[in-house]
Amino acid sequence: MSQGAARARRNEALLAYALLFPSLVFLGLFTYLPILRSFWFSLHDVMLGDPDIFWMGADNYLRLIDDHLFWKVFANTAFYTLTTIPLAVTVALLMAVALDSKLRGLAVYRSAFFYPVMIPSVAAGMVWVFLYAPGYGPINEALTALGLPRLDWLYDSAWALPAIVLMSIWKYSGYFMLILLAALKLVPSDLYEAARLDGVSAPQRLLHITIPLISPTLYFVIVIGILHSYQIFDYVYVMTQGGPADATNVLTFYIYQNGFQYQDIGYASTLANTLLVFVLA
């Protein structure tokens, strides 16, 4: 390689690093530095507002293993993830397939399905608190009209977490649907036409044509959904405050409780590092 070409490549690399430098600084200051600081806090006894910090080593992590509430919170988070993501992706896929067909008023349906995504999380949570209200909530009124028993929903430890799962499916299915709908537009229509001529039913076309061809997009949607499910906080804070009896307490809310209610920054950092490991996995 000539000296001129080497100099040009070096200048190009320097330009690239110069353009990346502001983003790298931002990423380091607000992502990697907080992670390192959180790990350092997890090895100490740190109380919010207290300047005195005491070395504890791995005691916070040993406390985590013996913390029965942590394992309940972890089970709640796992239940939320394992129910919300499959159901939300399934609903989103069915909506996307329906909208991919030649329907009249397609823009209206698309806007209606996507509208819940645009509602702020706190506002959506307050709306669903009203919908779930035991005495006058529309959902219980509908159950009564159908001859079914009323439920306490957010005040019943057996139904509180499924109620938040149902709300989350309503909230995020539209977002997943939009991504899957874009993927469906790339599937060649002649494949469906050939399948119809061969007498292949609609469920078989969905199973053997649609899903395999959009599987990379499905994988992307599932990963995004799992990452979001581990970070659920706002709905729990607005709707249940982790109750009743910690039935809806999840990892992010438990971190908030230890860090800002109990002011135990060291243990909250330990929980945050544990959550980071789950997200990375």
| DSSP 8-state code for residue 201 | -
* Residues facing residue 45 across a β-bridge: 54
CA distance linking residue 219 with residue 274, whole number of Å: 24
Q: Considering only CA atoms, which of 59, 127, 79 is closest in space to residue 251?
A: 79
> Looking at this protein, which amino acid is placed at residue 76?
N
Rounded distance between C-alpha atoms, residue 174 and residue 91, angstroms: 9
Q: What is the pLDDT along the chain (281 residues), one digit of tens a residue?
A: 567 777 888 888 888 899 999 999 999 999 899 999 999 999 999 898 878 888 988 899 999 999 999 999 999 999 999 999 999 999 999 999 888 877 677 778 878 888 888 999 899 999 999 999 988 889 999 999 999 999 999 999 999 999 999 999 999 999 999 999 989 888 888 888 888 888 888 888 888 888 888 999 999 999 999 988 888 999 999 999 998 999 999 999 999 999 999 999 999 999 999 998 888 88
What 3-state class would DSSP assign to 131? helix
Q: Compute the half-sphere exposure of residue 10: CA atoms within 13 Å on the CB side of its CA.
A: 7
Distance separating alpha carbons of residues 181 and 243, to the nearest angstrom: 37
Give this prediction's pTM.
Answer: 0.88
Contacts of 196 by beta carbon, 8 Å cutoff, 6+ apart: 205
